[in-house]
A and B are shown apart, each in its own frame.
Chain A
């Protein structure tokens, strides 16, 4: 049982490049989330999914897209990276919201030059 895994762990991009971050969970969770964490800003929700085939915008969705084609995977895409997207990205999952808790992945450190 690996929990929540994220790929890659580190990445450096140039402005304008694109990339996809992969999150995978093996706990059969319905809900999956992408956050970014910046110094002094805490965790900010980018997008989330309440089940396979669904996505919804969070607090800071601009510049990002997501897809949930399989229940266990949640992909975060950056179409045209900007320096403001330099951050640590965390994926999380939960069986449901409310009486359940979130489990986090180890994070992806992204630098956009």
Chain B
């Protein structure tokens, strides 16, 4: 079993929809949770960063962490065609030397 599981999609939604992207994990030592956005033929870029449990909001994006369920989510409100990309979750913790990534969910927002 992989340490981080993520539904690969693809997920196709109409413009303006609310999008929910999710990851589950198995290692309770993870404390830092990240979402990366990767456009086609580009490197991943950091979108959201959250420490421990709770919510974090940045514009149209909200990241949620539920450590009790080992479940993280990224919500995108009022989705735009420019949000079409692959979204990767990642996580780590203290005393780790590396990050653990989900396999990515491909999102397509249709105009």
- List chain A positions with a Cβ less than 8 A from chain B: 4, 31, 33, 40-43, 45, 48, 50, 56, 58, 90, 94, 97-99, 101-107
Contacts and interface: CB of A to CB of B under 8 A. Distances in A.
B96 A97 contact: yes
Interface string B32-74: 1010100001111110010100000000000000000000000
A97 B97 contact: yes
Interface of B: 6, 8, 31-32, 34, 36, 41-46, 49, 51, 88, 90, 92-99, 101-104
A48 B98 contact: yes
Given A103-B46, A104-B43, A98 B93 contact: yes
Contacts of B8: 40
Given A90-B44, A104-B44, A98 B103 contact: no
Contacts, number: 60
B93 A43 contact: no
B96 A98 contact: yes
Contact of B99 (A50, A97, A105): A97
Nearest to A31: B97
A107 B42 contact: yes
A102 B35 CA distance: 11
B32 A105 contact: no
15 contacts: A31-B97, A42-B103, A42-B104, A43-B88, A43-B104, A45-B98, A48-B97, A56-B97, A90-B43, A90-B44, A94-B99, A98-B94, A99-B94, A102-B34, A105-B43
Nearest to A107: B43
Given A40-B103, A42-B104, A105-B43, 19 more contacts: A4-B43, A42-B101, A42-B103, A43-B44, A43-B88, A43-B104, A48-B97, A90-B43, A94-B99, A97-B92, A97-B97, A97-B98, A98-B32, A98-B96, A99-B51, A102-B34, A104-B44, A106-B42, A106-B43
